[in-house]
A and B are shown apart, each in its own frame.
Chain A
């Protein structure tokens, strides 16, 4: 009886402080802000602090006006290598032992380090908080066999030492980041990734087989140990209304 009483509380303690997962090794894909399988398209003044690449496809459009802080690899050997490394990292994330199951909308949740598994679509309609519990190496892995969709103005927030460099989203189909959302972590999607207007990402969008589409986005490379401040998501300004032509009187 006394043993059972002891084991119960320990089990709860274990769930709250699960062993820190092992971060998947991105290899050469780590230097990319955006990596696509077939194409990468961009509209507007997107800014990528890291590399841009596509493989096996070769089409990259919208740069400029988009700006690439690193190198651009359109169907070349480095992009091929990055895709290969992405596949390894994707599988590593997919096979990471699950800490807990999640489903549906993650809004309002505060999660500690762990591997969170969903057998269906994952959504985020508001703020998800990732709590590092004062461990800068706290790793967060999200696994979904289906899609990841975040809503407009949604936010993945980090507290207590958690860092975007240690957040990974393994997506079994496609991901969509909503308009003017603030997202942290590296998305590794099997198919495609759509980043809607004005969204800012401290992380990466890496698509294995399909397209990555961008629209006036800001990508900040999630280097560990750096400030976790994200630019404020901002929608592009509407085209200026032509100045009102006022009648000129005779004076």
Chain B
């Protein structure tokens, strides 16, 4: 059952509610398929023409939030928005946690489409990375898919949705990020100024099982898993998914893109994951959960 905040059309009222009228612009980014600009918040307009006003936000009840689909790594939630960008979102400087399970809204903030659980599959606090703010709203990267590649031929590798800022608790700064070049088969760690601090040769996806590109996600969790041959170096689970196959490696977990240790970590060799030598996985493992990962061709 979608949760509506309600939109009222009020003729003759020429004032957008501050914050809701704010246009979040993301340079070189698309949200929901539409190009948007980054960083600036538009000044509220006073055009004098009839326009829309948005009813005051009414928080959903806990039961309503619980009824929403969890934006988990293996979920497919059409109401989420696609996100594609490879430049640093200016406001992605801090990782947050959630004080409660939280409703995620679509583009107009009116309809809750998913739930961001405060506790993740590891039993740890979910780390949330906003890439933009608009008044009392934060646009956050989510771990879920919007669509399956099998349905459309290709699908967004990353999704976003809006959450209320009062649900966020500041956790830790994000001072470094990861850039992966598929063409160069390199992983580079850069600081907040963009200066390179480390770089490594890595393995990337094969042509038939490519690593998604032109996209930014984040490290959502890390864990050892002997079942996947990872007893020493934790798997760095990103929020990204294969854009070309539902499950390039089989299974049912959503074509997850991980950064993980692999002894043969050079070339176009993987099912989409980034395969790292031990010095690279060691360096990445030192970065906090929430660190952004941008992948380019």
Contacts and interface: CB of A to CB of B under 8 A. Distances in A.
Interface stretch (A127-135, A181-189, A243-251): A243-251
A41 B20 CA distance: 67
B223 A246 contact: yes
A129 to B, nearest CB: 46
Interface residues of A, number: 8
Q: Give the dominant DSSP class at A's interface.
A: loop
A247 B258 CA distance: 10
A249 B248 contact: no
Contacts of A251: 228, 249, 258, 260, 270-271, 273
Contacts of A245: 121
A244 B225 CA distance: 10
Contacts, number: 54
B237 A249 contact: yes
A249 B256 CA distance: 5
A245 B271 CA distance: 21
A76 to B, nearest CB: 54
Contacts of B237: 247, 249
A246 B121 CA distance: 8
A250 B121 contact: no
Nearest to B221: A247
B280 interface: no
A249 B273 contact: yes
Q: Is the interface of B mostly helix, strand, loop or mixed?
A: loop
Contacts of B1: none
A250 B248 contact: yes
Interface residues of B, number: 28
Nearest to B220: A247
Contacts of B48: none
> Which of A247, A248, A250 has the most B CB atoms < 10 Å from its CB?
A250
Interface in A82-116: none
A250 B270 contact: yes
Contacts of B227: 246, 248
Nearest to A246: B225
Contact of A250 (B122, B223, B271): B271
Contacts of A250: 209, 242, 247-249, 255-258, 270-273
Interface in B229-259: 235, 237, 242, 247-249, 251, 253-258
Interface in A207-251: 244-251
Contacts of B271: 250-251
A244 B235 CA distance: 15
Contacts of A244: 121-123
Nearest to A245: B121
Contacts of B228: 246, 248-249, 251
A245 B72 CA distance: 13
Nearest to B73: A247
A247 B225 CA distance: 9
B101 interface: no
Contacts of B270: 250-251
* Residue of A248, A249, A251 with highest tally of chain B CB at under 10 A: A249
Contacts of B122: 244
B40 interface: no
Contacts of A248: 225, 227-228, 249, 251, 253, 256
B161 to A, nearest CB: 20
Interface string B262-297: 000000001111000000000000000000000000
Contacts of B253: 247-249
Contacts of B255: 250
A247 B74 CA distance: 8
A248 B230 CA distance: 11
Nearest to B262: A251
B222 to A, nearest CB: 11
Contacts of B258: 249-251
A250 B237 CA distance: 10
Contacts of A249: 228, 235, 237, 249, 253, 256-258, 260, 273
Nearest to B123: A244
A24 B219 CA distance: 74
B217 to A, nearest CB: 13
Given A248-B225, A248-B227, A249-B260, 11 more contacts: A244-B123, A245-B121, A246-B223, A246-B225, A247-B237, A248-B251, A250-B249, A250-B257, A251-B260, A251-B270, A251-B273
Closest 9 CB pairs of A and B: A249-B258, A250-B271, A250-B249, A250-B272, A246-B225, A249-B256, A251-B249, A251-B271, A247-B253
15 contacts: A244-B121, A244-B122, A246-B223, A248-B225, A248-B227, A248-B228, A249-B235, A249-B249, A250-B242, A250-B249, A250-B255, A250-B256, A250-B258, A250-B270, A250-B273
Interface of A: 244-251
